[in-house]
Structure 1
Amino acid sequence: MDVERGGEGRNGGADEPGWDVDPEDEISAVVEVVGHQLKLRREAAGLRVAEFGEAIGYGEDLIRKIERGVRIPRPEYLDKVDEVLDAGGLVSAMKKEMREARYPKKVRELAKLEERAVELGLYSNHNIHGLLQTHEFAWALLGTRRPAYSDEELERLVAARMARQSIFERSPAPEFSFVQEEVTLRRPIGGTMVLRRQLERLLEVGELRNVEIQVMPTACGGHAGTGGRIQVLKFADGTAMGRTDDEFAGRPVSDPRRLRILELRYGIIRAQALTPEESLAFIEHLLGET
């Protein structure tokens, strides 16, 4: 499955390959080390900043920011540096170190958990789950936030959401179960065409052998998900983590007693929703109406 490219704003933006790092974020030390390594490699090649900028196609100010460790470089920037410096992949290897830095602090822990999970059960009652969103849908959805995000904040959040979707390309692939409230599939976030492409994406993902998408019809009153979102993530070592909006103060829980409550509730939700086959047919019907 093709995962949409993240890390670019609505207009692309190769001239701004990164995001400013929060100096109070613990990840800033890693970004600073990478920036220093990039500077040392440039200087070892005998290139001044102006010469280097011309060679890689980026501005001097941006290069200085990255080398000072105050801006997080994007993968494509590191690839270009690697090519120009003929580093044999050593600079590109820094992408792994920068991947975590790409996530805003508030979603970093979630991304780590998702990357470890071998089974994910996810019920969404208000919006389409982030792992299923298209780039343009995520941009429009996060753009509704008030007070509004700055353009840079919005771009970084969307890029992080898209980067999380690399989980679909993992091998071995984790097992996914998504249950979406019908209303989340009807709300025209971003307009009709954005919604159409989002529904097409759901159909595409729903065809994967390791993914089940189910729809909870609005007509199903009093179902077990009325308390809000639920997520249950299971890991290879037999441990698990869960979260729900209406209990445990909305915080992650991992003790068996609380997890049993969430697993029971999620199991009932799945039983009350349309089957995966019925759900894909329902989404196709909505696509035809849109």
Structure 2
Amino acid sequence: MISKIHQKLISNLKQNAQRLLLITSIGLTLASCNSNSAEKKSEQKNNAVTAVPDTTKAEVKPADAKTILARREVPVLCYHQIRNALASDSKRAGDDIISPDKFKQHVKMLADSGYHTVLPAQLYNYLVYGTKLPEKPIMITFDDTDMDQFTVGNSTLKKYGFKGVYFIMTVSIGRKGRISYMTKENIKQLADEGNTIASHTYDHKNFAQFTEEDWETQIDEPTKKLEEIIGKKVEYFAYPYGVFKAANLHKLKEHGFKAAFILSTARDENYPLYTIRRIIDPGRYSAKNLYYSINKSFNKTKS
């Protein structure tokens, strides 16, 4: 009797153990499923949060002339000769001459004041597409290809991590005399170091006096020559003497230029990209004078 009861008890215990094992197994399976489901949901949520939308294919509509004119102007400085003035220099030439010491003082002031140099491509994207620029942007440009722009200008800019724009007059490349000019190797080095090489005609002919033939000799041929030297596109232009002719501005776009630079005269309302203002930094200015001039000249438009 005891044996039968004992056997029945053992049988019940086995059945209960099997049921418990089955329940535990089901529980673990459900827990695993819930865990996997939670992990998938979490992964999906994280992906939704961290995924960066692909905007590279999005088309941004270029700004019209009115919008470009309304954007806050970026200060653009213009330099010609960086040397000590001579007694034989005319009074007019004095505006285009700045001593090496003063140039270095002025660039140091810009760096100490928190300015960051930008290049024409950055300025173009800002004006046309509203692309953000660094804080306190400024552009430093050099006209006419003088050697001192390479030896003094470029070396000084590099000291502060600045980049410049060099508007090259191709007739002068490699010439030596009272004034020495940059060589092809100098120009190539400037481009390789991240500076912008741009056009300033063949021999500084006044843009307002262009004939039909000049579009080849003063524009197309210099562009081709510069592109052969630097191995990059040349897409920006500066007018000799800062003088432009409104009726011919559309032709610059037809000849491959994205923007062009004048001096301190008013911009053209129909072609603001081809009349971007610059100011000359005269050798008679102190660093304080330059700072004042920048803020006075380029704080007239909206942000």
TM over 0.5: no
Higher radius of gyration, 1 or 2: 2
TM-score interval w.r.t. the shorter chain? under 0.3
TM-score by length of 1: 0.25
- Give the alignment's TM-score, normalised by structure 2: 0.25
